Structure 1
Amino acid sequence: MSDYKQALIDYINATNTHDFSEVEKCLAQNAVYWFSDNSCTTIDAIKEYFEQAWTTVQEEVYQADHVQWIATSSEVATCIYEYKWSGLVNGIHQSGKGRATNIFKQVDQKWLLIHEHLSA
């Protein structure tokens, strides 16, 4: 498996820990997130967004399905996928899905997420 493919797996697994310190290990310091309702351009803003989401959706499970690596090189790799989530919202099981784009970049010989774009 290519290292960038493992980087996506590691990122999804880190997200499912609900511990931002684990997610942060997967992020480039200048990572930019575009969500349907907000854009985050600093690690602190990304952390705040994740932690709010984990508070809203308790016991959330996030997954990436139908991953397609659409552009790859030795320095950058871009994938698109359908994301799915499920968890408890106000004690009631809920789920949803949307589309995602992730861009990973080689930083100090490690693949890190530099951009994520999620849309419902």
Structure 2
Amino acid sequence: MERSYAQALQQYITATNSHDFNNVKQILDENAVYWFTNKTCTSLLEIQSNFERAWDTIKEEVHAAEDVKWLSIDEKTATCIYTYHYQGYFNGEFISGKGRATNIFIKNDYGDWKLIHEHLSNF
């Protein structure tokens, strides 16, 4: 069953909250590139390392996407921006925060929407 780009975003958030990179990897294109404030990840191995470091740093971390706006959609690509929220425990203390996100999804030859780019930044 083919899922929509909006379903792909929701599946990505759910996969991120599972704290299991195997779930996240199912949503990623093999050529995915991530831009963070202080780091660029250009391989799945680098992306995995970044996710796992974050999960080790902020325990029980939960992400959410709010105010999602789809800027560009066609048969093969979909681009959205949103406010991301996170919460969890850092050194035993509850923390939360938010920032800006840009996600670009592409539709592969099998009809699956895959995340090819994510850019996260603080407000």
Unaligned runs of 5+ in 2: none
Residue 11 of structure 2 is matched in structure 1 by 10
- Report matched runs for 1:24-103 at 5 Å: 24-103=25-104
Count of matched residue positions in the alignment of Structure 1 and Structure 2: 119
Unaligned runs of 5+ in 1: none
CA distance in 1, matches of 2:56, 2:36: 17
- The sequence identity of aligned pairs, in percent, is 51
Residue 19 of structure 1 is matched in structure 2 by 20
| Residue identity in the other structure for 1:99 | R
CA distance in 2, matches of 1:39, 1:85: 20
**RMSD between aligned alpha carbons?**
0.7
The C-alpha deviation readout for 1:19-67, integer Å capped at 9, x for no partner, is 0000000000000000111000000000000000000000000000000
TM-score (norm 1): 0.98
